[in-house]
Every structure is written in C-alpha cells, then in structure tokens.
C-alpha cells in the first residue's frame, strides 16, 4: 500500500482491491506528461502560438502589450520579451501554476546564456564541451586530423583488429553517448562526422 493511505472502508481486501490515483504526484513517471498537458492547454487557451519546429517548447504571443516568449523544457521555463507583455503573461500564469521569479538568467538547463551588445542572446554549453575534451584529450591528441569521418584508403580488417578492453569499451560508449547528446541538442552540425 502507498504510504499514507488509510484503509477506511470495511471489507478492504489487500489481495483483490486496488487504489486509483486521482491526482498525479510529483516525481512519478507521468507527472511531467500531466504537467505538460496542463501547460499546453493553458497557453493554447490564451492565444499563445507554439513553434511546431521545436515540438512546443517555444511559445509566443503578440498583443497590444508587445511580444512575450516562453521557452519550456519539461517544467523549467524562462520568459523573455517586452516588459509589459512579460508582466501580463506572468500574472496570468501564476494564477494557475506555482512559479518562482529568479530575475536575470545566465544559465538554463545546462546552457550558459550570454547577452550580446545587439540584445541577442547566444546559448553555449562550455562545460559539456570542456568535459568532453578533458575526458578524451589524451586519446585523440596523437591522432592525425582528417576532413572526413574516416581517412581515405583505410580498410578495417576485423580478423586482425584487437578487441577493446572492458575499460576502453566503456569509455568508447561514453564518448559516443556524449556525441549523440550533442548532435540531438546543441550541435546538430556534428551529425555528419558522428552518425548513429
């Protein structure tokens, strides 16, 4: 039985009866999905437009107060736009969701945000890239540079290749995972040299 459930009904049979959760609890697998459904409906009902290219992680609204943009990743949001439009959107959102106003933003979901002199913002992941270099620098430093994924004229001979040790196999898999993350999120330009 879930902790905190009182067996108040007479005749409760723990072997046959079950419990239906009427509210999704924070931390369950479905919590993020239920939050997302509610967030989606809320913003759709308030004339926000989702960016279909980002699978609704960027929501925008243009009205008489100006533009406001919500950037959403699971339940982490940041808001940008014109001050009056931001204040209006936040006031409405706070009526339906628990929020925290954090002020200016310099980091978001593992990315560093840097405001440029022209007012634009660039997103970087220097810690991820530095970590990748630190982890694999000694392994790749002695390799020669090539402009294509595999140097011309190189042929693999599986019969004569040395089998990777368990440590090297684990390290190879780890590096592959880092690159796949980079390809799918911040660095899709790497996809040509690190195909899945």
State the pTM of this model.
Answer: 0.53
Handedness of CA 169, 171, 172, 176 (dihedral sign): positive
In a domain, 147, yes or no: no
Number of separate domains in the chain: 2
Domain match, 38 and 118 both: yes
Distance in angstroms (rounded) separating the CA atoms of residues 114 and 169: 37
Tens digits of residue pLDDT in 128-149? 878 888 888 888 788 777 666 6
pLDDT tens readout for residues 40-77: 888 888 888 876 665 567 888 898 999 998 888 777 88
In a domain, 148, yes or no: no
Bigger pLDDT: 22 vs 37: 37
Higher pLDDT, 109 or 165: 165
Give residue 55's pLDDT: 56
């Amino acid at each position: 039985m879930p902790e905190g459930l009182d067996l108040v009904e007479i005749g409760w049979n723990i072997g046959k009866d079950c419990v239906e959760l009427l509210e999704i609890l924070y931390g369950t697998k479905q919590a993020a999905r239920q939050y997302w459904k509610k967030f989606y409906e809320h913003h759709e009902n308030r004339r926000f437009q989702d960016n279909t290219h980002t699978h609704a992680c960027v929501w925008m609204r243009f009205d008489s107060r100006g533009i406001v943009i919500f950037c959403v990743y699971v339940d982490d949001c940041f808001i940008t736009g014109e001050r009056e439009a931001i204040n209006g959107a936040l006031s409405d959102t706070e009526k339906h969701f628990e929020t925290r106003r954090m002020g200016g933003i310099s980091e978001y979901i593992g990315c560093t945000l840097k405001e440029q002199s022209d007012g634009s913002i660039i997103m970087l992941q220097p810690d991820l890239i530095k970590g990748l270099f630190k982890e694999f620098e000694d392994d790749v430093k002695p390799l020669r540079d090539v402009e294509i994924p595999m140097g011309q004229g190189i042929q693999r001979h599986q019969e004569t290749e040395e089998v990777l040790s368990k440590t090297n196999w684990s390290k190879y898999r780890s590096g592959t995972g880092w690159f796949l993350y980079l390809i799918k999120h911040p660095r899709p330009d790497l996809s040509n040299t690190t195909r899945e």
